Amino acid sequence: MKTIRIIKGDITQVAVDAIVNAANTSLLGGGGVDGAIHRKGGAEILEECQKIRAKQGGCGVGEAVVTTAGNLPAQYVIHTVGPTWRKGENNEAILLENAYRNSFKLAESLQLKTVAFPNISTGVYRFPKQAAAQVALRTICEELNKGQSVQEVIFVCFDDENLKIYQEIKADFLSQDIEIM
Ligand code: ADP
């Protein structure tokens, strides 16, 4: 039985194999959760991001790359880039799905067991929270069912609004193979 856990908190304090960062395409840090991760994780994370930039020029929307987690309690940071909401007319839902899916697949390829996600794109990028939560839960349930390695995904909600939405819709995603708590 695999597990999805919905909690309220600060993702920089979560001790899992990997936390996911809602980064931007530059990988050079920004505000919101990205700023918090770089601030608390230390310079090592940015150094590895700069190496990735030198090699492949950043990270595309919906893609994911991995670095050390520096001083954070996690082992790795998986940096993904969610879409900026532009009236929903620019493939935003697909791009958000890709961000969750590619982050999960990267965790699988590293043979990780536990991964924590923030509510990607629902801050500065203004993706409507309810729709974003649907995409997040649907995509992660699909991937947990297909995957081998990852046993537990934690959705770390930073604001009460996201927490309430996840709590409200989780019943729609219950199955025999995944418990949602
Ligand atoms: P984006 O640009 O993808 O919208 P933001 O960082 O602005 O990224 O917001 C994404 C989500 O991360 C928002 O729901 C925001 O409330 C949340 N967030 C901000 N700081 C933290 C944190 N320390 N831990 C977890 N989530 C956070």
Domain ranges of the chain: 2-180
- Ligand 1, atom nearest to 125 Cα: 4
Contact between residue 154 and residue 19 where contact means Cβ atoms under 8 Å apart: no
Judge if the beta carbon of residue 119 lies within 6 A of ligand 1. yes
CA distance 45 to 40: 10
* Residue 117, burial from CB neighbour count under 10 angstroms (0-12, 13-18, 19+): buried
Judge if the beta carbon of residue 32 lies within 6 A of ligand 1. yes
CATH topology of domain 2-180: Leucine Aminopeptidase, subunit E; domain 1 (3.40.220)
Terminal CA-CA length for the chain: 13
Helices (H), 57-128: 92-109
| Closest listed residue to residue 98, CA positions, set 113, 112, 79, 82 | 82
Note if the pTM is more than 0.85: yes
Judge if the beta carbon of residue 10 lies within 6 A of ligand 1. yes
At residue 156, the 3 state secondary structure works out as: strand
Tell me the per-residue pLDDT of 77-117, one tens digit each, with 9 for 90 and over.
999 999 999 999 999 999 999 999 999 999 999 999 999 99
Tell me the per-residue pLDDT of 18-45, one tens digit each, with 9 for 90 and over.
999 999 999 999 999 999 999 999 999 9
